[in-house]
Chain A
Amino acid sequence: MITLEKIYKTYVLGGEEVHALDGVDLTIDEKEFVAVIGASGSGKSTLMNIIGCLDTADSGNYFIDGQNIMDMTEKEIGIMRNRKIGFIFQQFNLIPKLNAFENVELPLIYQGVGAKERKDRVKEALTKVGLEDRMYHRPNQLSGGQQQRVAVARALVTKPTLILADEPTGNLDSKSSKDIMNLIKELHAQGNTIVLITHDNNIAAEAPRQVQLMDGKIIRDSAEKGGNANEI
């Protein structure tokens, strides 16, 4: 479903070349729940940005549902992000001026979904994350855990191929972290494909498959080499 082939990405930081990704091969199948672990500087954020089509690789191939991102125009990549990928960020990244409902509605607006259908789907997504009674609160009127749940609802609402979570519990207390992890596991159980990026082994352990990154290379994949999915 998503396949990365020989992905290289190099940054120049302070005149020095940093090989953030150094030939990464990775295949993630439908309905999988994969945790990408690595220390800071291991390249996991870069990997997440490339998987999320927020950034493009220097070389290599990246297929989502058989389509190669490297051949796409900026506009096509935008559509890809909009329809196939749902983001959950460490910083929540909600728009402060908009309330929970409007934040969740936004990706559907960009998809051009009609107002009535939008309303139904937003309500459905917010109910799923347990925020049906907080729909018209702004982010600053919500707790961290609640904000992250709005973000989860926003990721869900487009029914994406892939939900990409970048340290989703990084800014949360342990109780909220647990809630969010339970929510993510629940989403997985409902058949969503999830890629979770974290530096925390305990969090990663909740995922059936772990991929460990170091210095831009995959050094361990619990599903082993060969690319076939492990059974859940």
Chain B
Amino acid sequence: MKFNQALKMALSSVLSNKMRSFLTMLGIIVGVMAVTLLISLVQGATNTITAELGNLGGTNLTCMIYDSSSRFTLEELKALEEEESIGLTSAYLQANGTLKAAGNQYDAAVYGVTENYMDMQSVKVETGRGILEIDNEYRLNVCVVGVEVAKELFGNTDVIGEIIRINGKDYKVVGVLKEMGANSMSSVDTQIFIPFTNAQRLFAQTSITSFYVSATSDETIEQAEKYMNDYLKAKCGEDNYMVLNMGMIIELVEEVYNTLSYMLGGIAAISLLVGGIGIMNIMLVSVTERTKEIGIRKAIGAQKSDIIVQFLIESVVLSLMGGMIGMILSGGILGIINLFSTDVKFSITIPVALLAVLFSVGVGVIFGIYPANKAANLKPIDALRFE
């Protein structure tokens, strides 16, 4: 018997019993929906987080020196850029400061930074300018503020030229940063940036304790990491420093989320299993119900394989339809979630869709084999006599 004939028979059988077919499919619908939804949600979250981590600098190494007596200077930092695997360097100093302006007070994270910091950390200036080399050279009392800081102090973001008092010293606002949004992991909205050299004096720090080094490319990051490790070990002694590779952190996060999505997908797969058992039940009932039909078919020349194919296709059609409906539903739900979520966009990726389809076909085959085989093995004479 040709396949398309078998397919036609299976389809007409599924359609001739719409209510039962739908109820049978329900298990698969819910199962596939749960799997695709959970995996897509986790994937969406992972992509957003790794993208944000990527913004922090995929080729950046974060270096910390614990021993402040090692006297690491800006000149030494600049000299590191001569190393061929290293692109830019940027020192930073973070401390909490009390900001006062226009009669308002606001506690914010104050960052003393050198000129490359904003480029390396993807901090964008909306109006005005960022912290420049000249600011550091002359230890100018200038600052670049986040949107939230400006709003808290002045009520608006049109604040260039205004004066902010940080820990008792006056700073002139020269730039306002681009808004990052509230849900962002490391929002610069609540931060204020001043020249590094100025911050050293403000917070009474003499040595560089934290800085970024960027590799020239993804390929050279390991070389740069090794170089920095060797360099800092020689400079500060073992255990007095740390070099963090952002790329490695991204990988780690991705790994964690992958594990999470496998775990959640696995839990959801249990409902697919239950759905499959539902299909097997219905197919077994269907075999019993149609014993006579099977007998007739065999009497007029259906082979064992014809009967197996007929029942197997029927269960695959049921589960595949269920899988498709489940996927469409979870696509719809993700669409609705996207309407309300501004930062994270969720969608069913092609591998997830393929996985769901394959899984539901697999469920159909695995749970269809037993009933199909049972039907095919009926002796024609016994099946014909069945009432």
Contact = CB atoms under 8 A, between A and B. Distances in A.
Contacts of B16: 97
B12 interface: yes
Given A54-B381, A55-B379, A97-B13, A82 B301 contact: yes
Contacts of A52: 299
Chain A CB within 10 A, most for which of B12, B300, B384: B300
Given A106-B297, A110-B1, A112-B1, A93 B303 contact: no
A89 B298 CA distance: 14
Contacts of A79: 301, 303
A109 B13 CA distance: 16
Interface string B294-307: 01111111111010
Interface SS majority for chain A: helix
Interface string B142-155: 00000000000000
Q: How large is the interface on A (under 10, 10 to 19, 20 to 34, 35 or more residues)?
A: 20 to 34
A26 to B, nearest CB: 19
Report the 7 A-B pairs with minimum CB-CB distance, sorted nearest first: A82-B301, A54-B381, A107-B300, A110-B301, A78-B303, A55-B381, A54-B380
Interface in B7-34: 12-13, 16
Contacts of B1: 109-110, 112
A93 B385 CA distance: 10
A154 interface: yes
A115 to B, nearest CB: 9
A176 interface: no
Interface SS majority for chain B: helix
Contact of B2 (A54, A75, A87, A112): A112
Contact of A154 (B5, B292, B300, B302): B300
A111 B292 CA distance: 21
A110 B306 contact: yes
Contacts of B380: 54, 81
Contact of B299 (A81, A109, A111, A112): A81
Given A54-B380, A109-B1, A110-B1, A74 B300 contact: no
A171 interface: no
A78 B301 contact: yes
Contacts of B5: 109
Contacts of A93: 292, 295-296, 299, 384
Given A95-B296, A158-B301, 6 more contacts: A54-B380, A83-B301, A93-B299, A106-B297, A109-B1, A112-B2
Contacts of B302: 78, 82, 110
A27 interface: no
B303 A75 contact: yes
Contacts of A3: none
5 contacts: A54-B379, A75-B304, A93-B299, A106-B297, A110-B303
Interface in B242-299: 292-293, 295-299
B301 A97 contact: no
Given A54-B381, A93-B296, A111 B303 contact: no
A136 to B, nearest CB: 14
A2 B28 CA distance: 52
B301 A111 contact: yes
A49 B296 CA distance: 13
Nearest to B303: A78
A110 B2 CA distance: 8
Nearest to B17: A97
B381 A97 contact: no
A82 B300 contact: yes
